[in-house]
Structure 1
């Protein structure tokens, strides 16, 4: 089954890694990328996104603020925070907004865990 997926990270390398691991496991999915929260929100307004991965620390709008807005636009989307910022306050805020939380680095194991979260 196809899914519309948005990968949001200000690091181009992180976006490429996440996309490569996801495409390998789910080649039928459609992928979009954004390098900022603002860009992610604009994409959410145009596309029927079903899964969004978000970094927290980005220039401009934080990933948590962007995720909150995306969930207002696409309430059925699954949002997974994928970040190196592992402060418990960040994790608690993400979870209170209905987002899942995974710690970087982006590895095959991290992406396997992400797929377990969204498939299971």
Structure 2
């Protein structure tokens, strides 16, 4: 069975970079991309990914609001918040939702840490 990772970021460049680094490390994964929370929920309506990597600041639904929706629909889903928004309040709320916090910029070390959530 293929491992599926959902990447949600309003920046197409960030999604492309993140997908590229993931594919270099784990060529066996399927990547589903979304540019906002609404699109993300549509993409996972019928099949939950194994891991969702979410940006915090997006138009409409924030990454943490999206995390709440995803957690309610898919309780076993592993969630990562990959963001430049490093406020302590964001980190606390992420922890309370069971979302692992990661700080941008996107790089191999950060992606390797995120991929460990699949182990």
Question: TM-score when scaled to structure 1?
Answer: 0.94
Q: Hey, what does 2:84 align to over in structure 1?
A: 84
Structure 2: gaps (5+ residues): none
RMSD, aligned CA: 1.1
Q: Distance in 2 between matches of 1:36 and 1:46?
A: 18
- Corresponding residue pairs, total: 119
* Conserved 8 A contact 1:68-1:97: yes
Aligned ranges 1:1-120 → 2 under 5 Å: 2-119=2-119
Q: Distance in 2 between matches of 1:85 and 1:21?
A: 21
Q: Secondary structure, in 3 states, of the residue corresponding to 1:106? A: coil
Question: TM-score when scaled to structure 2?
Answer: 0.95
- Give CA deviations for 1:22-71 in whole Å, capped at 9, x if unaligned: 11111111110000011111112122211000000001111100111011
Q: Secondary structure, in 3 states, of the residue corresponding to 2:59? A: coil
Displacement of 1:72? 1.0
Q: Secondary structure, in 3 states, of the residue corresponding to 1:33? A: strand
Q: Secondary structure, in 3 states, of the residue corresponding to 2:45? A: helix
Q: Distance in 2 between matches of 1:90 and 1:118?
A: 23
Q: Distance in 2 between matches of 1:107 and 1:97?
A: 25
Deviating 4+ runs (over 6 angstroms): none
